[in-house]
Amino acid sequence: MLGKTLTAIWLLSAGLATGEDEMDRPSEVVVLTNKNFEHDTQLSSGGTTGDWFVKFYAPWCGHCKKLEPDWEEVAYELKEEGRINVAKVDVTANSALGKRFSVKSFPTLKLFKAKEKETYTYKAGPEWPRDAEHLIKFATGGYKGFEGEPTPPPPDMMRELKAFVGQGFESLLFYATNPGKVQAHEWGFLSIGLTAGVLSCLVALRLMKSLIGVAKEPKEKAY
């Protein structure tokens, strides 16, 4: 009887010690922001930092809070295997990343395959619940059963300016060729809007030309 009691006490203390160790161990989850995302992940270059499993979340999200311990476990296990980086992005503080990766709900979990430059979104459901076991399974091969998509590049000012100018000219062309689409009382507002649009396009074009000029300027070469 005494032996059984001592064994039970030992098992209980061992379990408590293990729990304390897990609570005390440092987090392996990397915190990514607008500033360090490209530098750390190197996704646009297909760099050498490896694949990344990223949680896009909001601090107020109840599902995100519930996922936190499992996400820590995923980071710890994948770190042990040395294959996949696990990170998180607070979208409320880094909205540019949320926009870039089309984050529309929380939490959104995305696996970025660096060399392939492809992204796989974890679609939670009955077969794929948000627990450590299934998340690890997804990151280590289960993602192949999901449809991937090209990883979107970081924002590019030149590309955005071209898109802006293109949209402006499309609007001008539409109203110039379809005057009947405009109601009589709307001409005043439209003229102001078109004037502002033309001016914006001209400013954007001048900025683009100046940037192109800077880009083409010869740089000193080191021999």
- 64 in catalytic set: yes
Q: Around Cβ 3, how many Cβ atoms within 10 Å? A: 7
What distances in angstroms separate CA 194 from CA 47, 169, 178, 204, one per listed residue?
44, 10, 14, 15
Q: Is 201 a catalytic residue?
A: no
Phi, psi of 119 (to 5 degrees): -125, 135
Taking the CA atoms of 124, 129, 131 and 132 in sequence, report the sign of the dihedral they define.
negative
Residue for token digits 């609007």? 171
Q: Which residue in the list 62, 82, 180, 188 is annotated as catalytic?
A: 62
User: 56: buried, middle or exposed (CB in 10 Å: 19+, 13-18, 0-12)?
Assistant: buried
Considering the candidates 50, 61, 134, 142, report the single residue annotated as catalytic: 61
Q: Which helix (H) or strand (E) holds 72?
A: helix 62-81
> Which residue among the candidates 64, 168, 197, 201 is catalytic per the annotation?
64
Q: Can 134 be counted among the known catalytic residues? A: no
- The reply to whether 62 belongs to the active site is yes
**Residue of 15, 39, 63, 166 marked active site:** 63
Question: Active-site residues: which are they?
Answer: 61-64
